[in-house]
Amino acid sequence: MGMLCAVSFNRYGRLYYLDPGEFRPRVGDRVLVPTDEGPEVAECVWAAQWVSEDTDGFPKLAGLAGEDDLHRDELLRRRKADAKVAAKRLIREHGLPMKVVAVDHVLATPESGSDRTTIYFTAPHRVDFRSLVRDLGATLHCRVELRQLSARDSARVQGGIGSCGRDLCCATFLTDFEPVTIRMAKDQDLPLNPLRISGACGRLMCCLKYEHPLYAESSSYPTSGQRVETPAGQGKVVSRHPPSGTVTVRQIADGQVKRCSLADVCGPRRAHEEGPHSVEQGPSPRGE
């Protein structure tokens, strides 16, 4: 048990949870968050409060932001905005098929000796941007790096709302992208419509992998179109729902569609294993 607070570097951006330590920030306070490039200013969006989880693995808050920290943060924001405008203008002048996704700027330190700007972009293929880097360096008067992002990484950086109405998984809690295949959608009886199974990045939705193990292990479920016996009579399987342990059956007698528990459905084996009329067979010679 410990205390946690949530901060965000951008309005409506991704939330980061930290151990407030000896500090007690309130909602709207500007705080210092430790990063690889040093403490950065963020806004507290969830005041420090006690939680039941163990907080030993969370980073600690570096403190509350002072006037110097706020001035430095404002300078960084202006540099990022200027770099983004300059990058878009020069990309257009060079005629390159690139789209600027995000910009990061690091102020000079005694170790680095100069400012550094990193521009993240997407492109349909590899781009020769050597001349663009030279022009950006001359315009921004700092060292410039360009990094190409994949479609999934671009969605993670920009964020957004998924078809479920929640923030994108990649922008909130997913740390690694695992392979997602069309077979996962087929196993879950989902429509193979790209508009229905694609995420904001244009690739297959990462959430297809969440329930796939349940469907992959559901060999005891009848397949779609198979004739089965239910308490209401014979029917044909319309769809299956392994997460809830049920199947949807259309009654042959009246055409009504009902959801039944798997335990109430007779004939769970696949049709090609049972034979075409197995559900209509009588009792076995042993009386079972």
Say yes or no: 15 and 77 in one domain.
no
Position 75 scores a pLDDT of: 92
Domain that holds residue 242: 227-279
Task: Judge whether 220 lies within some domain.
Answer: no
Task: Judge whether 288 lies within some domain.
Answer: no
Task: Judge whether 285 lies within some domain.
Answer: no
Task: Judge whether 116 lies within some domain.
Answer: yes
Q: How far is residue 62's CA from residue 131's CA, in Å, rounded to a whole number?
A: 40
- Give the CATH number for residue 242: 2.30.30
Q: How far is residue 221's CA from residue 146's CA, in Å, rounded to a whole number?
A: 51
Say yes or no: 76 and 60 in one domain.
no
Task: Judge whether 188 lies within some domain.
Answer: yes
Say yes or no: 20 and 51 in one domain.
yes
Position 274 scores a pLDDT of: 42
Task: Judge whether 218 lies within some domain.
Answer: no
Position 112 scores a pLDDT of: 66
Question: Among the three residues 65, 80, 114, which one is the final residue of a domain in this structure?
Answer: 65
The per-residue pLDDT for range 130-161, each reduced to its tens digit, is: 999 999 999 999 999 999 999 898 988 888 88
Task: Judge whether 284 lies within some domain.
Answer: no
Position 110 scores a pLDDT of: 67
Residue 62 has a CB neighbour count (10 Å cut-off) of 18
Task: Judge whether 200 lies within some domain.
Answer: yes
Question: Among the three residues 65, 80, 107, which one is the final residue of a domain in this structure?
Answer: 65
Say yes or no: 82 and 144 in one domain.
yes
Question: Among the three residues 11, 42, 65, which one is the final residue of a domain in this structure?
Answer: 65
Say yes or no: 29 and 87 in one domain.
no
Say yes or no: 40 and 93 in one domain.
no
Say yes or no: 20 and 77 in one domain.
no
How many structural domains comprise the chain?
Answer: 4
- What are φ and ψ of residue 104, in 5° steps? -125, 140
Residues of the chain short of pLDDT 50, as ranges, are: 268-288
Position 267 scores a pLDDT of: 60
The per-residue pLDDT for range 29-60, each reduced to its tens digit, is: 999 999 887 889 999 998 988 888 888 889 99
Give the chain's largest Cα–Cα span. 90
Say yes or no: 189 and 233 in one domain.
no
- Give the CATH number for residue 98: 3.30.300
